[in-house]
Amino acid sequence: MDNLRMEGKVVLVTGVANQRSIAWAIAQALHAAGATPVFTYQSERLQKGVEELAGSIGSDHVMPCDVTNEEEVAAVARSIEERHGRLHGLVHSIAFANREDLAGEYLDTSPEGYRTAQDVSAYSLVTLCRYAAPLLAAEGGSVVALTYLGSVRVVPHYNVMGIAKASLEASIRYLAYDLGPKKIRVNGVSAGPIKTLSSRVIAGFNDMLEHIEARAPLRRNVETSEVASATAFLLSDLASGITGEILYVDAGYHVMGM
Ligand code: NAP
């Protein structure tokens, strides 16, 4: 299993908000495999916390980046080029929708709410890939985005975020096709529900956890570390033949008919 070893590989990890973030578990898994994670945070409010977490695994490369701001994405790419000269992996672990759009009916989604969810949660993968591609192409690379079953099934209250995740998953396939000739793979990890800052905003989230524990083939919910290790696998050379794929890490819940 030497090809899970990621010594000398530089991986950009977006979406660390705190120690509960899926992105943080991914950064820890990458660090354990020998990779060098570099980090972005969205708002100044998160800067100190993300710097402290990064420092705890020996990284001091932490940059601001609101993914809807193309100049900030470009600055991140420049900073990675200056410090490392290349990139081997990119983790997209970012989503946002207005709170009022994650309760009630999808039918009531406003045009601005729809655009916000799409811009932050789906189009951002395109922007990040466009700026990261020249760096990822230097030695071949792997991109992984976090997604959820609400993209292909109706999950009450997930609403506009389900539509954004459907768009994200379609983007994964088109980007896999565009970037394949540059030896860049693009995949998704569809995680089962996990308590984080973002997921708490979804109405009925605790009921969702109970429902899955009762019905999933493994009769439990997933751990953040399980999502992280699957992501590390897709980022590593062990997954060298896999692109355009959505890998479910959800205790098997997605196979159930009822
Ligand atoms: P999280 O810790 O809250 O992470 C979400 C991250 O997105 C935060 O760091 C947030 O930063 C960032 N973000 C939002 N808008 C941004 C913007 N404009 N620019 C840059 N960053 C932005 O929650 P999480 O559950 O780990 O979510 C990570 C990913 O996993 C998301 O794509 C989510 O949909 C996916 N996922 C989660 C679950 C689950 O149940 N938790 C299940 C399946 C998939 P701020 O805090 O500053 O807004």
Q: What's the pTM value of the predicted model, to 2 decimals? A: 0.98
Closest CA to 37 of 83, 96, 68: 83
Does residue 73's CB lie within 6 angstroms of at least one atom of ligand 1? no
Counting from 1 in the atom list of ligand 1, the atom nearest the Cα of 20 is: 2
pLDDT score of 1: 53
Ligand 1 centroid distance, CA of 140 (Å): 26
- Choose one of 18, 93, 119, 144 to mutate for the ligand 1 pocket test, by most ligand atoms within 8 angstroms of C-beta: 93
Q: Cα separation of 108 and 65, whole Å?
A: 31
Amino acid in position 239: A
Q: How confident is the model at residue 3 (pLDDT cuts 50, 70, 90)?
A: low
Q: Which CATH class is domain 10-251?
A: alpha beta
Q: Do residues 197 and 21 make contact, with C-beta atoms less than 8 angstroms apart? A: yes
Q: Cα separation of 12 and 14, whole Å?
A: 6
Q: How confident is the model at residue 40 (pLDDT cuts 50, 70, 90)?
A: very high
Does residue 67's CB lie within 6 angstroms of at least one atom of ligand 1? yes
Instruction: Tell me which DSSP letter residue 106 carries.
Output: G
- Choose one of 67, 152, 196, 225 to mutate for the ligand 1 pocket test, by most ligand atoms within 8 angstroms of C-beta: 196
pLDDT, average across residues 46-51: 97
Task: Compute, in degrees rounded to 10, the torsion defined by CA atoms 86, 229, 7, 51.
Answer: 70
pLDDT score of 258: 85
Ligand 1 centroid distance, CA of 91 (Å): 11
pLDDT score of 190: 98
Q: Cα separation of 253 and 258, whole Å?
A: 10
Does residue 93's CB lie within 6 angstroms of at least one atom of ligand 1? yes
For residue 3, count other CB atoms closer than 10 A to its CB: 10
pLDDT(69) > 80: yes
Ligand 1 centroid distance, CA of 197 (Å): 8
pLDDT in tens, 86-139: 999 999 999 999 999 998 899 999 999 999 999 999 999 999 999 999 999 999
Q: State the average pLDDT for the chain.
A: 96
Q: How confident is the model at residue 6 (pLDDT cuts 50, 70, 90)?
A: very high
Higher pLDDT, 3 or 207: 207
What are the residue boundaries of the structural domains of the chain, listed by start? Answer: 10-251
Does residue 120's CB lie within 6 angstroms of at least one atom of ligand 1? yes
Q: How confident is the model at residue 4 (pLDDT cuts 50, 70, 90)?
A: confident
Report which protein residue has its CA nearest ligand 1's atom 2.
21
Q: Do residues 187 and 242 make contact, with C-beta atoms less than 8 angstroms apart? A: yes
Q: In what order do the strands lie in the sheet with 141-147?
A: 62-64, 36-41, 10-13, 89-92, 141-147, 184-191, 246-249
Token digits for 29? 């898994």
Token digits for 109? 């989604």
Q: How confident is the model at residue 221 (pLDDT cuts 50, 70, 90)?
A: very high
pLDDT in tens, 166-203: 999 999 999 999 999 999 999 999 999 999 999 988 88
Ligand 1 centroid distance, CA of 95 (Å): 5
Residues annotated as part of the active site = 148, 158
Q: Do residues 39 and 61 make contact, with C-beta atoms less than 8 angstroms apart? A: yes
Q: Cα separation of 125 and 91, whole Å?
A: 9
Ligand 1 centroid distance, CA of 17 (Å): 8
pLDDT(230) > 80: yes
